[in-house]
Amino acid sequence: MEITGEYTLPAPRQAVWEALQDPAVLRASMPGCETLEKLSDTEFTAKVTTKVGPVKAKFTGKVTLSDLDPPNGYTISGEGQGGVAGFAKGSAKVQLSDAGPGQTTLRYTVDAMVGGKIAQIGSRLIEGTARKLADEFFGSFTAQVAARAAATAPVAPAAAAQPAAPSPAPSAPREGIPAFVWIAGVVIAVALLLYFVL
């Protein structure tokens, strides 16, 4: 399963880069995130509760960052073992680039794999769930980044006075999700499937 996507964010590249690593921003952006802790500069753990249809599930997962190239991008990877339901693992390359004054383009390519019963039953459920979570995440993340950009630029040029768009730029495809969230999404879906199908 490969997911690619692109979003334009109303903040300079450095600010987006920092936000992408700020547990507070990520926690606030991630639907159902209860705790998100930075273990080191390259490791996070998260506890996420999510609900799909009638089922509510909790998951704890771990992701690591590599190939750090501030403020241009990194590779993020994660793995979740779902016991009798199989496994989910994935990695993603995230790239940031300037998209004009105070604007940053975030591109990502996720290469992920699920195995065992999760793949057997739920490839579709997982993708759908992950995409839904991505939309929610990006709405929040964009708002957070915009708010920070506004707060750190008190003497604003005219452009900064514009309210930050709470949704992706119209030109950006609404496909795909940030790797970090995608992996969390997969992992959450894994947990859901445990309840659904076993």
Partner 1 sequence: MVENGIGARVRRKEDFRFLTGQGTYTDDMNRPGQAHVFLLRSPHAHARLKKIDARQALAAPGVIAVITGADLEAAGVGPLPCGWQIFNKDGTPAHEPPHPVLAVGRVRHVGDPVAAVIAETRALARDGAEKLVVDYDPLPSVTATAQAAKAGAPAVHDGAPNNVCFDWHFGDAAAVDQAFAKAAHVTTIDLYNNRLVANAIEPRAAIGEYDPAADRHTLYTASQNPHVIRLLMGAYVLKLPEAKLRVVSPDVGGGFGSKIYHYAEEALVTWAAKKVGRPVKWTADRSESFISDAQGRDHVTHAELALDKSGKFLALRVQTTANLGGYLSTFSTAIPTYLYATLLAGLYTTPAIYCGVKAVFTNTVPVDAYRGAGRPEACFVVERLVEKAAQEMGLDKTEIRRKNFVPKSAMPYQTPVALQYDSGDFITHMEAALKLADHGGAEKRRADAKKRGKLLGVGLSTYIEACGIAPSNVAGALGARAGLYESAEVRFHPTGTVTLFTGSHSHGQSHETTFAQLIAEGLGVPIENVEVVHGDTDRIAFGMGTYGSRSLPVGGSAIVKAMDKIVAKGKKIAAHMLEAAEADIEFKNGTFRVAGTDKGLSIGQIAFSAYVPHNFPLETVEPGLDETAFYDPKNFTFPNGTHICEVEVDEDTGAVQLTRFVAVDDFGRIINPMVVEGQVHGGIVQGVGQALVEDCIYDPTSGQLVTGSYMDYCMPKADLVPSFQVATNEGAPCTHNPLGVKGCGEAGTIGAGAAVINAVVDALKGFGVTHMDMPATPEKIWRAMHGKAAKAAE
Write the CA distances from 33 to 27, 82, 109, 112, 191, integer angstroms: 6, 19, 23, 22, 15
Contact residues for 62 (Cβ-Cβ < 8 A; gap 6+): 43, 44, 45, 46, 78, 79
Site size toward partner 1, by CB under 8 A: 18
The two three-digit tokens of residue 164, written as one number: 């930050």
- DSSP structural state of residue 154: S
Rounded to 5 degrees, φ, ψ at 191 are -60, -40
121 near partner 1, judged by CB under 8 A:
yes
Q: Considering the complex, what minimum distance in angstroms separates the CB of residue 53 from partner 1?
A: 14
Q: For residues 88 and 80, what is the distance between their CA atoms, to the nearest angstrom?
A: 5
Residue whose CB is less far from partner 1, 28 or 119: 119
| Binding-residue pattern over the window 81 to 100 for partner 1, x denoting contact by CB under 8 A | --xxxxx-------------
Q: Which of 113, 160, 164, 169 is in the footprint of partner 1 by CB under 8 A? A: 113
175 near partner 1, judged by CB under 8 A:
no
Stretch that binds partner 1, among 79-87, 102-110, 148-156, 157-165 (CB under 8 A): 79-87
Which stretches of the chain bind partner 1, using CB under 8 A?
83-87, 113-121, 123-124, 197-198
